[in-house]
Amino acid sequence: MKRVLVLGVLVLGLLAAAIPAMAASDAWIPGVASLAIPGLGQLLNGEEDKALVHFVVGLGISAIGYGIGWYILPGAWYLVPTLYLAWSVYSAFDAYNVAKDTGFTLGFVPNGVGVGYTYNF
Protein backbone atom coordinates (compact mmCIF):
# COMPACT_ATOMS: atom_id res chain seq x y z
CA MET A 1 0.00 0.00 0.00
CA LYS A 2 2.86 2.37 0.79
CA ARG A 3 4.41 1.70 -2.62
CA VAL A 4 1.18 2.65 -4.39
CA LEU A 5 0.95 5.84 -2.33
CA VAL A 6 4.57 6.76 -3.07
CA LEU A 7 4.07 6.02 -6.77
CA GLY A 8 0.90 8.15 -6.82
CA VAL A 9 2.65 11.08 -5.15
CA LEU A 10 5.55 10.75 -7.61
CA VAL A 11 3.23 10.76 -10.63
CA LEU A 12 1.28 13.75 -9.29
CA GLY A 13 4.54 15.58 -8.66
CA LEU A 14 5.70 14.98 -12.21
CA LEU A 15 2.36 16.16 -13.58
CA ALA A 16 2.46 19.27 -11.41
CA ALA A 17 5.94 20.05 -12.68
CA ALA A 18 4.84 19.61 -16.30
CA ILE A 19 1.69 21.76 -16.15
CA PRO A 20 3.44 25.18 -15.93
CA ALA A 21 5.64 24.17 -18.86
CA MET A 22 2.60 23.85 -21.12
CA ALA A 23 1.60 27.11 -22.77
CA ALA A 24 -1.89 28.30 -21.98
CA SER A 25 -3.95 28.46 -25.13
CA ASP A 26 -7.51 29.54 -25.67
CA ALA A 27 -7.59 28.35 -29.29
CA TRP A 28 -10.03 25.62 -28.32
CA ILE A 29 -12.79 28.20 -27.78
CA PRO A 30 -13.28 29.07 -31.49
CA GLY A 31 -12.91 25.38 -32.32
CA VAL A 32 -15.72 24.34 -30.01
CA ALA A 33 -17.83 27.30 -31.16
CA SER A 34 -17.51 26.21 -34.79
CA LEU A 35 -18.28 22.64 -33.87
CA ALA A 36 -21.58 23.81 -32.37
CA ILE A 37 -22.43 26.30 -35.14
CA PRO A 38 -20.23 26.29 -38.27
CA GLY A 39 -18.82 29.77 -38.78
CA LEU A 40 -19.06 30.96 -35.18
CA GLY A 41 -15.40 30.20 -34.50
CA GLN A 42 -14.37 32.05 -37.65
CA LEU A 43 -16.42 35.01 -36.45
CA LEU A 44 -14.58 34.92 -33.11
CA ASN A 45 -11.30 34.88 -35.04
CA GLY A 46 -12.31 38.06 -36.89
CA GLU A 47 -12.83 36.38 -40.26
CA GLU A 48 -16.32 37.63 -41.09
CA ASP A 49 -16.34 36.58 -44.76
CA LYS A 50 -15.16 33.06 -43.99
CA ALA A 51 -17.68 32.85 -41.13
CA LEU A 52 -20.52 33.71 -43.49
CA VAL A 53 -19.38 31.07 -45.98
CA HIS A 54 -19.10 28.37 -43.31
CA PHE A 55 -22.53 29.24 -41.90
CA VAL A 56 -24.24 29.35 -45.31
CA VAL A 57 -22.69 26.02 -46.37
CA GLY A 58 -23.87 24.41 -43.12
CA LEU A 59 -27.34 25.86 -43.61
CA GLY A 60 -27.33 24.75 -47.25
CA ILE A 61 -26.38 21.20 -46.33
CA SER A 62 -29.36 21.06 -44.02
CA ALA A 63 -31.92 22.80 -46.20
CA ILE A 64 -31.01 21.40 -49.61
CA GLY A 65 -30.10 17.97 -48.26
CA TYR A 66 -33.39 17.49 -46.47
CA GLY A 67 -35.29 18.96 -49.43
CA ILE A 68 -33.66 16.56 -51.89
CA GLY A 69 -33.99 13.68 -49.47
CA TRP A 70 -37.65 14.36 -48.78
CA TYR A 71 -38.92 15.10 -52.30
CA ILE A 72 -36.49 13.58 -54.82
CA LEU A 73 -34.62 10.67 -53.23
CA PRO A 74 -36.59 9.34 -50.28
CA GLY A 75 -34.28 7.87 -47.69
CA ALA A 76 -31.26 9.91 -48.82
CA TRP A 77 -31.91 12.41 -46.04
CA TYR A 78 -30.15 9.98 -43.70
CA LEU A 79 -26.89 11.26 -45.16
CA VAL A 80 -27.58 14.88 -44.20
CA PRO A 81 -26.55 14.60 -40.51
CA THR A 82 -23.32 12.89 -41.55
CA LEU A 83 -22.50 15.62 -44.08
CA TYR A 84 -23.39 18.32 -41.55
CA LEU A 85 -21.20 16.72 -38.89
CA ALA A 86 -18.31 16.45 -41.36
CA TRP A 87 -18.69 20.15 -42.25
CA SER A 88 -18.85 21.11 -38.56
CA VAL A 89 -15.67 19.16 -37.80
CA TYR A 90 -13.87 20.82 -40.72
CA SER A 91 -15.08 24.24 -39.59
CA ALA A 92 -13.92 23.55 -36.03
CA PHE A 93 -10.51 22.34 -37.24
CA ASP A 94 -10.08 25.48 -39.37
CA ALA A 95 -11.15 27.82 -36.55
CA TYR A 96 -8.82 26.10 -34.06
CA ASN A 97 -5.80 26.31 -36.38
CA VAL A 98 -6.39 29.97 -37.23
CA ALA A 99 -6.88 30.84 -33.55
CA LYS A 100 -3.69 29.00 -32.62
CA ASP A 101 -1.71 30.74 -35.37
CA THR A 102 -2.98 34.23 -34.52
CA GLY A 103 -2.68 33.88 -30.74
CA PHE A 104 -6.36 34.06 -29.79
CA THR A 105 -6.81 34.74 -26.08
CA LEU A 106 -9.87 35.26 -23.94
CA GLY A 107 -9.56 36.55 -20.45
CA PHE A 108 -10.53 39.02 -17.79
CA VAL A 109 -9.55 42.66 -18.04
CA PRO A 110 -10.23 45.44 -15.53
CA ASN A 111 -13.47 46.42 -17.32
CA GLY A 112 -14.83 42.87 -17.66
CA VAL A 113 -14.12 40.10 -20.15
CA GLY A 114 -11.88 40.87 -23.09
CA VAL A 115 -10.84 39.20 -26.32
CA GLY A 116 -7.29 39.78 -27.44
CA TYR A 117 -5.34 38.96 -30.55
CA THR A 118 -1.61 38.65 -30.80
CA TYR A 119 -0.12 38.59 -34.26
CA ASN A 120 3.35 37.14 -34.72
CA PHE A 121 5.09 38.43 -37.83
Q: What is the CA radius of gyration of the chain?
A: 21
pLDDT score of 55 more than 50: yes
Which stretches within the chain are classed as H helix?
2-18, 28-36, 40-44, 48-71, 79-102
Report which listed range, 1-5, 19-23, 44-48, 86-90, is most confident: 86-90
CA angle, corner 20, sides to 16 and 22, nearest 5? 110
pLDDT of residue 58: 94
User: CB–CB of 39/55 below 8 Å?
Assistant: yes
* Cα gap 91→54, rounded to integer Å: 7
pLDDT grade for 51, boundaries at 50, 70 and 90? very high
Average pLDDT rounded to a whole number, residues 5-23: 50
Is a pLDDT exceeding 70 seen at residue 103? yes
Considering the entire predicted model, what is its pTM?
0.67
Residue 109: Cβ within 10 Å count: 9
Give residue limits of the domains in the chain: 26-116
Which DSSP string do the residues of 6-32 spell out, in sequence order? HHHHHHHHHHHHHGGGSPP--THHHHH
Give the whole-number percent of the chain exceeding pLDDT 70.
Answer: 66
